[in-house]
Amino acid sequence: MTMTTTIHHDGVTIPVSRGGRGRPLVLCPGLNATQAGMYELAESLRRDHDVVTFDLRGHGRASAAGRYSFEAFLSDLAAVMAELDVAPVLVGYSLGADLAVHYASEHPGAVSELVLIDGANPVPEPFLTEAVLPQFRAMWEDMAARQEAERGTARQVLLTGEEILELNVEIDAVRSRILERYRKIDWPISMIMSTSMAGDGDGGLARRVNRNWRAGVERLVREQPQIATSWLDADHRLVFTHAREIARIIRNGAAG
């Protein structure tokens, strides 16, 4: 049985769902992801975890906000975590992984373990450069336009293409400093990463992004060799395409 509640903070309403049995686990979505979209992963985890899912502001059933920034999304996660009376496993996907690392580094003892899915990657080069900015701007404008069909549903995303672009620029800056955050965390960390983050197309941009993605993980593991890393033959949509496999890895301790 899944229970639903709402949290009111910072002028927004955050919907929270909780269900399952076993070890407490919080699942933090990423940019353009909703708890409805991550339903299969959440349900798979609920077989042996007490799973909490929620929507970030401007996503799913959460209310819109006057601002969308990394710190604002981090405050959404913090508000959800503040409602818990135990230290859960904190699982973050994409931007949610970055939020999880920042939250854990700022709240010693509030998390028992981190599982990071295709995010929080200290890539050696920025994801967005001046050369590719127009291409990504057009892609995210198109994504925002297609999202119009989801308005009023549990899968809606209210952000504009420009807001998505600005957030990705901010995420690049966050990741350039994220190694400092890892150094403050002294409990288990696991990573589940895609082998082809940008897809397996023949384009030079996809190859550059994929190389940069792997180089970031290699950089992190060189400095933090205790981090367990699993690679899935997938792109950045792995939480949707490989949900059961991800749940199995988390269940087995994310080693491999």
Instruction: Convert the pLDDT of each residue in 185-240 to its tens digit.
Output: 999 999 999 999 999 876 788 999 999 999 999 999 999 999 999 999 999 999 99
pLDDT of 129 higher than 70: yes
What pairing do the DSSP bridges indicate for beta strands 89-93 and 23-28? parallel
pLDDT of 254 higher than 60: no
Q: Do residues 91 and 118 lie in contact, with contact meaning Cβ atoms separated by under 8 Å? A: no
- Alpha carbon 11 to its chain's center: 22
pLDDT at 255: 36
For 124-180, the DSSP string reads SS-S--TTTHHHHHHHHHHHHHHGGGGTTSTT-B---HHHHHHHHHHHHHHHHTHHH
Q: Which of 71, 104, 118 is nearest to 216 (CA)?
A: 118
pLDDT at 1: 82
Tokens of 226: 């205790």
Q: How far apart are CA 25 and CA 64, in angstroms?
A: 26
pTM listed for this prediction = 0.97
Q: Do residues 115 and 190 lie in contact, with contact meaning Cβ atoms separated by under 8 Å? A: yes
User: Any idea where the domains of the chain sit in the sequence?
Assistant: 2-124+175-251
Q: How far apart are CA 14 and CA 60, in angstroms?
A: 9
Instruction: Convert the pLDDT of each residue in 18-28 to its tens digit.
Output: 999 999 999 99
Distance set, CA 96 to CA 77, 156, 214 (Å) = 9, 17, 19
Provide the b/e sequence for 63-88 (b: ≥16 CB within 10 Å): bebeebebebbbbbbbbbbeeeeeeb
pLDDT at 134: 92
pLDDT of 12 higher than 90: yes
Look at the domain 2-124+175-251 and name its fold: Rossmann fold (3.40.50)
